A and B are shown apart, each in its own frame.
Chain A
Amino acid sequence: MFHELGLMNFSVVVSQFWPLLINGLALGFIYVLISLGYTMVYGVLRLINFANSEIFMVGTFATVIVSRNFFGFNQNTDPLHGFKLVYTLGACLLASMLVSGVTAVLVEIVAYRRLRAKGTNRLASLISAIGVSIILQEGVRILTHSVPMSNPRLLRKAYIFNIGSVGLRVDTLLVIFFAAILFFLVDRFVSKTLLGKAIRAVSMSEETSKLMGVNLNRVISATFLIGGMMTGAAAFLYETVYENTKYNVGFSIGLAAFTAAVLGGIGNLRGAFLGGLSLGLLEEFAAAILGTQWKSVTVFLVLVLVLLFKPNGLFGEAVQQTRV
């Protein structure tokens, strides 16, 4: 172990800094979008939606199915360009967001609403969500016979500009750009719109919100829908970069995104943003410097240290206005 620690590799950070940074940000933004699903639901329900990782998985399959079965593309198809590229990617994105969003709402109705209505304790809801997660994962495993599915390469992975001798790829830049816009839109939505205010009101006080005439079930369903759609967008972006999915793809990504949400302050939108980006960068640089086998150790060590000093995460309870 100590021998391995002695093999810290800083030269890779120097020579590969930009790819690590850009890819770390791209990965981090994928975590941001998925963690919105966790953090928004926690904000309104004070519950962790463990099915969010499978909502992500379902979104990846929606992307693959649309591009393969609807458009008829396969591994031999040349990458697209121009308007065809735009509307194909658009269709895949829409499908992924729709499927994930609807799945999230169904999860809410099946796993949470009835138990909430009966006033059961939170543990029952948690177990119910885990059960739904397992049903989704195993269902897809059976349907796909556990075979990984590859997404056709719709977008040519061209290097569009260089920083020094290092090229930056169009797909990772697309993820960063698009995910940043999506997050900004969600943040504005929650801050400025009536529904967003209702979501924030419920997250602050469920009882008071009801007294103010807020339709609790509608707000909670809307929260699941928005969180699910963001997770679906993350699934589309994931497929654009990694081009593979399988029934259990959601597990490790979901765990990382949940960690990001906790790191930033669960229930806090901007905390999810900071947590996601921090986690993406931390994973890449820790793996590069220490070795990939130390990646998880490093990440969770940092998480524990942060929580020791800031038990509510980096943003914690401080920024009330931007809480969901």
Chain B
Amino acid sequence: MNKNSQRVLGVVAAAALVLGSVALTTAQAATKSVTLVYQGPLTGTDAQTGQDELLGAKTAIQVYNDSNPAVKVNLITADDQGEGAVAGTVAPGVAANKNVIGVVGPAYSGASIASFPSYKATRLTMVSPSATRVTLTDPRSPDNGFPFFHRVVGNDALQGPAVVRWSIDGVTAPKVYVIDDQTPYGTGLAQAATAYIKLKKVNEVGSDSVVQKTSDYTATVAKIKNSKANVVIYTGYYPDGGALAKALNDSGWAGVFAGGDGVLNDAFIGVAGKAAAEGAKFTAPAVPFETAATDAQQAAFTKATGLKTAAGHVYVTETFNATNVFLSCIKLGKLTRAGIQQCVATGTFFALDGKTVLKFTRQGEVVGGAPVGGFQVVKGIIKYFGAV
């Protein structure tokens, strides 16, 4: 090979090297992706709630990925069945997955507490759309998730008073009976409600604590009727709430049945039956997606989920908001757990409407609190009545 040929070959080789490395870099940049996890009850008796929330996460990611970003976001799920015992076995696997940079969830308070050790140890940030127990962000509590747990909803310190106010609204001489389901969520909400009842000197005529998955409520119904209560506040979840409401209705009791966000679910009507569910009141630190979303967001919801409307599905808005917190950080180039943690803790984000500011306190609560909505079953459909 003569010298000219050698020179040409050298130039071609160098050019190939440069072009190849550019192409490789471009290819790597184009296929860059990160992973978020939705953690909640996707199976089990509370599966409806988790399945509903997942719709919000999918919608947010659909909107994000449709904007053709440089960094794609993959969503995977972690099913904790809404139970601490299951969450304790699921969280280590999520925490060990290096691709995961954030957790949308956990959905439930008990599952959150059980997940904290794994996520704190691996510095994995959580933004929950629905875990409302007060102690999750209380610095004095051993259950708190500081500095990795945040939530986009108000806690039970807000919901407890709200459920009392909403349940006795329009009731003459209310006599309230409070029942919890012995879960971290249920007992926390019951405590908050009872504290407000005492503060406002509402007449509390009794209380009970009924474990989940109880079939027979005869004794509880007997006590409620004996107490002459005309308002029952149940702070558990909809499978048991529905069964209790049915038992009360079948016994001839004609008072107001009320519950917190754990009972707020279309499936409550199926379990309780239409007659027992009619007039039941619920509160939730939630805004219905179909009420708050723009047409474009509704279309994105349909594209992401295959459903025409989010009506009847709970916490879709809140999960959308929680997911968007992470997506906003990813847009800012925060692609590591440390970057996400710092961004979520200090950043300013926006809710579904694009105007409501979401910013977290040091403990993980939304600055300024979040409104609690009132819902009621009217003619077999759960209707939203605005903030209560």
Give the contact stretch, choosing among B10-18, B211-219, B308-316: B211-219
CA distance A283 to B216 in the complex (A): 10
Chain A min CB distance to B49 (Å):
11
- Whether the pair A150, B271 counts as a contact (CB closer than 8 A) is yes
Chain B min CB distance to A96 (Å):
16
- Whether the pair A19, B45 counts as a contact (CB closer than 8 A) is no
Q: Which of A148, A242, A246 has the most CB of B within 10 A?
A: A148
- Whether the pair B222, A288 counts as a contact (CB closer than 8 A) is yes
Chain A min CB distance to B327 (Å):
29
Q: Is B169 an interface position by the 8 A CB rule?
A: no
Checking A16, A19, A145, A157 against B43 with a beta-carbon cut-off of 8 angstroms, the contacting residue is A145
Contacts of B223 in A (CB 8 A): 9, 12, 16, 288
- Whether the pair B215, A242 counts as a contact (CB closer than 8 A) is yes
Chain B min CB distance to A293 (Å):
4
CA distance A15 to B225 in the complex (A): 9
Q: Interface digits, B226-255 against A, CB 8 Å rule (1 contact, 0 not)?
A: 100000000000010011001000111000
| CB-CB nearest in chain B for A157 | B250
- Whether the pair A243, B47 counts as a contact (CB closer than 8 A) is no
| CB-CB nearest in chain A for B179 | A292
- State the interface size on chain B (CB cutoff 8 A): 34
- Is the contact region of chain A dominated by helix, strand, or loop, or is it mixed? helix
Contacts of A193 in B (CB 8 A): none
CA distance A19 to B211 in the complex (A): 21
Chain A min CB distance to B196 (Å):
21
Checking A11, A23, A76, A141 against B216 with a beta-carbon cut-off of 8 angstroms, the contacting residue is A23
Tell whether A238 pairs with B215 under 8 Å between CB atoms, given A146-B44, A246-B45, A292-B209. Answer: yes
Contacts of B62 in A (CB 8 A): none
- State the interface size on chain A (CB cutoff 8 A): 44
Tell whether A292 pairs with B210 under 8 Å between CB atoms, given A242-B243, A287-B220. Answer: yes
Using a CB-CB cutoff of 8 Å, which residues 262-290 of chain A contact chain B? 283-288
CA distance A286 to B222 in the complex (A): 12
| CB-CB nearest in chain B for A172 | B218
Checking A75, A167, A242 against B270 with a beta-carbon cut-off of 8 angstroms, the contacting residue is A75
Contacts of B226 in A (CB 8 A): 9, 11-12, 15-16
Using a CB-CB cutoff of 8 Å, which residues 208-265 of chain A contact chain B? 238, 242-244, 246, 248-249, 251-253
- Whether the pair A293, B211 counts as a contact (CB closer than 8 A) is yes
Chain B min CB distance to A155 (Å):
11
Using a CB-CB cutoff of 8 Å, which residues 1-46 of chain A contact chain B? 9, 11-12, 15-16, 19-20, 23-24, 27
Q: Is B274 an interface position by the 8 A CB rule?
A: yes
- Whether the pair A146, B47 counts as a contact (CB closer than 8 A) is yes
Tell whether A147 pairs with B47 under 8 Å between CB atoms, given A20-B218, A75-B274, A292-B214. Answer: yes
Q: Is B273 an interface position by the 8 A CB rule?
A: yes
Q: Is B328 an interface position by the 8 A CB rule?
A: no
Q: Is A323 an interface position by the 8 A CB rule?
A: no
- Whether the pair A284, B219 counts as a contact (CB closer than 8 A) is yes
CA distance A247 to B270 in the complex (A): 16
Tell whether A153 pairs with B222 under 8 Å between CB atoms, given A167-B252, A252-B215, A283-B216. Answer: no
CA distance A296 to B273 in the complex (A): 28
Q: Is B77 an interface position by the 8 A CB rule?
A: no
